[in-house]
Amino acid sequence: MTTYAPAKAPARAGGRPHKPRRPSRRPPSPARLASRVLVGALVVVQVYPLVWLFLTSLRTERDFAGGNPFALPTSLTFDNYARAFGHGHLGRNILNSLIVTMGANVLIVLCGMMGAYALQVLGFRFSRVVRALFLVGIVVPVQIALVPLFVDYTRVGLLDTYPSMILPLAGFALPMSVYLFSSFFEYIPREVYEAASLDGAGPYRIFARITLPMSVNTVVTVVMVNSIFIWNDFIFANTFVLSEDLKTIPLGLQNYIGAMGKTDWTATFAAVCVTVTPLLLIFLVLNRAMIYGLERGASKG
């Protein structure tokens, strides 16, 4: 076999090889520069409150009350976190919020995915009317359901329980999840379902083996969108929860308001930092799951 030597770079006058010139970097255009400035400003607006919250949770009570609340702390202390756990039941509040958030998300994902699968994939008579009714549910305010739900929960014995918070949260979030799943199922080729049907798979097997694995990113999106509102829910928990043992985080933070409206602000900020941590961990896990779903889809493609 004949081998060919790599071509040498042309030599300059003096015996030195000629090095290829690197392309000169052009200055960014005004539009790109403006977009970078805008993105940087948005990052500052989003990150600054979290940084300020954490720094304030480490300030002494006298430093916060007597100085500038937006200035850097003159001294750091962890006594605020000790008072936060002493004044309230943070551990129990976080556990209750986790139970409500996970339970509501399970119902939202399962019911929303199965409803969208029936509307978009299987299809039936008047399916468009049913989809329109789901979309109408997006504009229904939650306040109109408080009194009827309170009366019904009292009659059936669901008042002051976890389902009393999980069911309405899942019900009011269901229309948006059905819409998101329907939009995703619309882009799945019909040939995939037809090939599975020819192989003898029924609708339940197609849903479990094809639709569910392909919907990982949509599931993560639905969970991320709804987790914020469920975690911060106050109106349902304040209406249907009567005992101290079932209070979620928004209700538990009321324990830091003392007599005559006096509030221990530094302990409150420390409690908020503690209660935000599980939500940030959940989002990190969901973000990793979304990246895994994208990589898996790209490798299959």
Give the pLDDT of residue 7. 52
Work out the pLDDT band at 109, boundaries 50, 70, 90. Answer: very high
Work out the pLDDT band at 169, boundaries 50, 70, 90. Answer: very high
| pLDDT of residue 259 exceeding 70 | no
Residue with tokens 């192989």: 199
Distance set, CA 20 to CA 16, 23, 277 (Å): 13, 9, 52
Nearest to 52 by CA among 73, 79, 81, 75: 73
Q: Find the mean pLDDT for residues 292-300.
A: 54
Tokens of 11: 């030599």
Cβ of 3: how many Cβ atoms within 10 Å?
4
Give the pLDDT of residue 24. 60
Q: What is the pTM of this model?
A: 0.77
Partner residues linked to 17 by β-bridges: 11
Give the pLDDT of residue 167. 93
Give 132: exposed, middle or buried? Use CB within 10 Å, 0-12, 13-18, 19+. Answer: exposed
Helix (H), strand (E) at residue 7: none
Q: Find the mean pLDDT for residues 60-85.
A: 79
Tokens of 247: 């209070």
Give, to the nearest 10 degrees, the angle between helix 265-300 and helix 90-116. 30
Work out the pLDDT band at 20, boundaries 50, 70, 90. Answer: low
Give the pLDDT of residue 260. 47
Nearest to 245 by CA among 131, 96, 105: 96
253 touches 270 (CB < 8 A): no
Q: Find the mean pLDDT for residues 48-52.
A: 84
101 touches 166 (CB < 8 A): no
Question: How large a percentage of the chain has pLDDT more than 90?
Answer: 15
Return d(Cα 241, Cα 227) in angstroms, integer. Answer: 20
Give the pLDDT of residue 295. 56
Nearest to 229 by CA among 122, 142, 113: 142
Return d(Cα 150, Cα 142) in angstroms, integer. Answer: 13
Q: Which of 72-76, 202-206, 253-257, 291-295 has the lowest mean pLDDT?
A: 291-295
Give the pLDDT of residue 102. 93
Q: Which is higher by pLDDT, 7 or 75?
A: 75
Q: Find the mean pLDDT for residues 196-203.
A: 82
| pLDDT of residue 120 exceeding 50 | yes
Q: Which is higher by pLDDT, 19 or 282?
A: 282
Give the pLDDT of residue 22. 62
Distance set, CA 98 to CA 31, 216, 227 (Å): 44, 21, 10
What does pLDDT average to over the chain? 81
Q: Find the mean pLDDT for residues 155-184.
A: 90
Return d(Cα 276, Cα 281) in angstroms, integer. Answer: 9
| pLDDT of residue 115 exceeding 70 | yes
Work out the pLDDT band at 156, boundaries 50, 70, 90. Answer: very high
Give the pLDDT of residue 107. 94
| pLDDT tens per residue, range 121-138 | 887 788 888 888 888 888
Q: Find the mean pLDDT for residues 182-191.
A: 84
Per CATH, domain 93-300 is 1.10.3720.10 = yes
Cβ-proximal residues to 62 (8 Å cutoff; 6+ apart), any chain: none
Give the pLDDT of residue 47. 83
Give the pLDDT of residue 298. 47
Where along the chain do its domains lie? 93-300
Work out the pLDDT band at 150, boundaries 50, 70, 90. Answer: very high
Return d(Cα 221, Cα 210) in angstroms, integer. Answer: 19
Give the pLDDT of residue 81. 85
Give the pLDDT of residue 189. 83
φ/ψ of residue 168, rounded to 5: -65, -35
